[in-house]
Structure 1
């Protein structure tokens, strides 16, 4: 590679790194993910997403306006062939406090799930339960997971198509028992950017096929659908995600979410038509500017 190509590649990587840090900073600020004194348990699977999440959080930790602690945690589920040394070696080299939680969920999954069936769902539930319990044990105040914007959009359609529910992955979540807060700092980041970032950083990726299970075929079908949409109609995934942040309960049909039953007329105030000033037809330019066209002030507060 020539010197010019090297320089161009470095510039592109710097732009990518800044974009990802800015998006993570926005997500943290928008959802108040990290507060002063937090102890963040960063869950590492050995995949590109969780490596990128840890890398970016370590960078933000140095410049953030509040002090917080990071501790990396990996769960060794005893899959045959799992390279036990990879993550501890990597984390020791970084100087990051870490724990390896050993729990033989592999045997449980193999015993319960029939041969040939996808094990991912049960495996994920068992892993999540173990990690939640460990977060309490070490006094972690937040549990950070590496789901990104594509994961969130795909989950929306999985629930819509296969579960009949309008539900996705929130960037911040309180567990059902109220004992853990889950955060997803990569919620505004695209998977393609994370993949490029991981290649540049040369993370020691551990494949997710050690258990011999097929990937969730439904999720793969949805992923392909969203990828094709994004290819034909650039920005569609962004619009779908934006819709999750601008929900109008009165325009849906959930009777628990909105009181349709007791709707009543209210003509005590002038109508919108009556209040409108027809003498001013000037176009309000700002209403056409996307919300993320300028860097919000809260990004600057994180010193990004």
Structure 2
């Protein structure tokens, strides 16, 4: 039962309607494997857990494809005995006009998932503070995060868990690069400003296209994210299109870019707080240097060198 590759007639209630085709099974196993890797790589679970002392996670459910997939993946990992954590699904109803408040409670109840539904009218606050025709997303997100922290504390959770995926992380990186003047993104694991809660992103390694295929196959009751009449900023949409275009022209490029975020070289950047450039000096003759970060030639330069030598 602990082997993800093993098929079983019994599955969690949430997965009973999963397609039985080979391709979908491969997709499902890939998402499970990637979530396990992210949880392990970033130490999302305590080093030691027991039945008496299990962490409790607040799984934030918006009604979109990402959060539904997150809940399904974590539920299956827990069911297989691979996630020693208690899960509480949580939806924050922000009183957006037209929000179908019945959808998520009915879905969660039908699948036997422990949950909490909280209604807070942040929509009125946001529309009062933000001028007309401006996007609400930034303020809305801050208000939502603060409320989720409060709910997590009330429920005795040590972490809130979000459904951000690989493309979300890359988009945030380029948003910060282009518009924020810094190299930063969404880490798979961080601690809040108060220091009492973790923020976890177990789908950090998952591709958005895989999540979309999984969500479509599962026929989740998707709730649109534009009920408030505001979309995420045009700048992020531009970055999203840019990344999609790169991936279309060169399949696999986004995976390479995501790996680059875990392979930084401070000595090859310009941040003096991360690397001591001031005291960097040539070594004396015969002195053995430490494990410096010698610059490796890129593939293009290697190919050009080979071409030049071949021409000779």
TM-score under structure 2 normalisation?
Answer: 0.82
* Stretch moving more, 62-71 or 156-165: 62-71
Q: Which of 5, 28, 31 pairs up with 1:20?
A: 31
Determine the structure 2 residue equivalent to 1:250: 267
Q: Which of 145, 157, 180 pairs up with 1:128?
A: 145
Higher relative contact order (CA 8 A, sep 6+): 1
**Unaligned regions of 5+ residues in structure 1, if any?**
1-7, 273-304
Cα distance, 1:266–1:83 mapped onto 2, change above 3 Å: same
* Stretch moving more, 120-129 or 29-38: 29-38
Distance 1:64 1:120 in 2: 37
* Stretch moving more, 208-217 or 192-201: 208-217
Shift of 1:9: 7.2
Q: Confirm whether residue 270 of structure 1 aligns to residue 281 of structure 2.
A: no
Determine the structure 1 residue equivalent to 2:72: 55
Shift of 1:177: 2.1
Determine the structure 1 residue equivalent to 2:119: 102
Write the mapping of 1:1-304 to structure 2, written as runs, cut at 5 A. 10-35=21-46, 36=49, 37-65=54-82, 67-267=84-284, 269-270=287-288
Distance 1:67 1:112 in 2: 42
Shift of 1:65: 4.6
* Stretch moving more, 224-233 or 136-145: 136-145
Cα distance, 1:121–1:52 mapped onto 2, change above 3 Å: same
Deviations 1:71-113 (Å, cap 9, x if unpaired)? 0011010011111111011111111111111111100100010
Whichever structure has more helix as a proportion of its residues is 1
Shift of 1:34: 2.4
Distance 2:220 2:179 in 1: 34
Deviations 1:107-134 (Å, cap 9, x if unpaired)? 0100010000011111111101110121
Cα distance, 1:100–1:271 mapped onto 2, change above 3 Å: closer
Determine the structure 2 residue equivalent to 1:300: none
Cα distance, 1:231–1:65 mapped onto 2, change above 3 Å: closer
Is the Cα–Cα contact under 8 Å of residues 77 and 83 in structure 2 kept in the other structure?
no
Distance 1:225 1:91 in 2: 36
Distance 1:67 1:241 in 2: 28
Shift of 1:258: 1.7
**SS in structure 1 of the partner of residue 29 of structure 2:** helix
Cα distance, 1:50–1:66 mapped onto 2, change above 3 Å: closer
Determine the structure 2 residue equivalent to 1:301: none
Distance 1:219 1:118 in 2: 12
TM-score under structure 1 normalisation?
Answer: 0.84
Is the Cα–Cα contact under 8 Å of residues 35 and 205 in structure 2 kept in the other structure?
yes
Cα distance, 1:229–1:105 mapped onto 2, change above 3 Å: same
Aligned-residue Cα RMSD (Å) equals: 1.6
Count of paired positions = 265
**SS in structure 1 of the partner of residue 199 of structure 2:** strand
